[in-house]
Structure 1
């Protein structure tokens, strides 16, 4: 599948910038170069749509709203120590320092994305644990960007005991998130064992009842 490193998807006035995190390595690779070119193009579309005097092109969105970034890696942060959700990384793992470009985007790439796109929300994953971070970037007092980043926990029993998924409601004015979870794997295993036991008891009861009924017919000679 030849997917672009960066793409803009607009749905009912909501704009999502989908980013291949590998394209944000910043090592000058061809994929990175294509990604930066596309981000600059998309950033100009948002500038033109918002009426910014810095607009250089002609392409505009029909309905302007700040974009939502979606990618695999979380944006730069030193560690998960700032994460306070019940399904955040356990201690002491939560205090382990992140390695840029391995556990999260680099600080440079993060600042570049925020400065160019000025997102109103961001979604990432990769760590397998939940985290909600309130970002505030202010390169200048006139260009302050504030938004919330959601790190989505893993939806797999292989990675965590309580897999989660998000239900997100998005409008041009707000983003609402509800977190849902699967039962723990041990709960599912216990339910399976109980169902097998119940089925075994039922089959034994059904077989015994039929056997008694058959013996009764043989003993009385009645046809039922």
Structure 2
């Protein structure tokens, strides 16, 4: 099962949206935790709870759970060296420590997927819960955007990262193709200067054939 969390509602400032969202999350966590109990385990609190698929959930949210910085992150799509040691601001770059602990305590997720920082990172929470911060998918934010494809079952998951072409390489190919096109057009109309006579002669031979 997947749990989609509105990260903005985890500010913890007591706003109406925060209170409503937290109440719904608490109710959902109760259902999920009761659903994972063994049939022979008696619990009065779970007697009337709606039963959901008995698997540890996967947490999806925009903001990462609390971490000090990206200093421990590695990989070609992690933050650049000059940014890795910049401390994160709680409730701005990452969730607060309190909100992060609540989500882990409520749901005991088997995997957490997040974003926001525009750079990739893999961390372990409580020594066993992996969180993967997915890097930006936009060339506006990084030169090597990527996305993650996954295969998920009730008991396991497998993820594979796929990269898009480097933006700089795409621009280089476009520029080279554009320059070649201009040369061919000028050669076609015999407007080339001496250094480009080869292309002009090549086109002339092609026409003769």
Q: TM-score range by the shorter chain?
A: 0.7 to 0.9
**TM-score (norm: length of structure 1):** 0.77
Contact 1:48 1:57 in 2 (8 A): no
1:147 deviates by 1.5
Contact 1:45 1:57 in 2 (8 A): no
- 1:94–1:56 CA distance, 2 compared to 1 (3 A): farther
* CA distance in 1: counterparts of 2:70 and 2:207, whole angstroms: 65
* CA distance in 1: counterparts of 2:116 and 2:155, whole angstroms: 28
Larger helix percent: 2
1:55 deviates by 2.2
User: 197-206 or 179-188, which moves further after superposition?
Assistant: 197-206
Partner of 2:72: 82
- Structure 1 moving runs of 4+ over 4 Å: 201-213
1:200 deviates by 3.8
* CA distance in 2: counterparts of 1:211 and 1:85, whole angstroms: 49
1:54-203 matches, within 5 Å, as 54-55=45-46, 57-61=48-52, 63-136=53-126, 146-203=128-185
1:183 deviates by 1.5
1:185 deviates by 1.4
Contact 1:44 1:57 in 2 (8 A): no
What stretches of structure 1 of length at least 5 have no aligned partner? 1-14, 138-145, 214-224
- 1:212–1:166 CA distance, 2 compared to 1 (3 A): closer
1:141-191 deviations in Å (ceiling 9; x for gaps)? xxxxx3110001111111111111111111112121111111111101111
- 1:88–1:212 CA distance, 2 compared to 1 (3 A): closer
SS in 2 for 1:123: strand
1:30 deviates by 0.6
1:43 aligns with 2:24: no
**TM-score (norm: length of structure 2):** 0.83
- 1:211–1:177 CA distance, 2 compared to 1 (3 A): closer
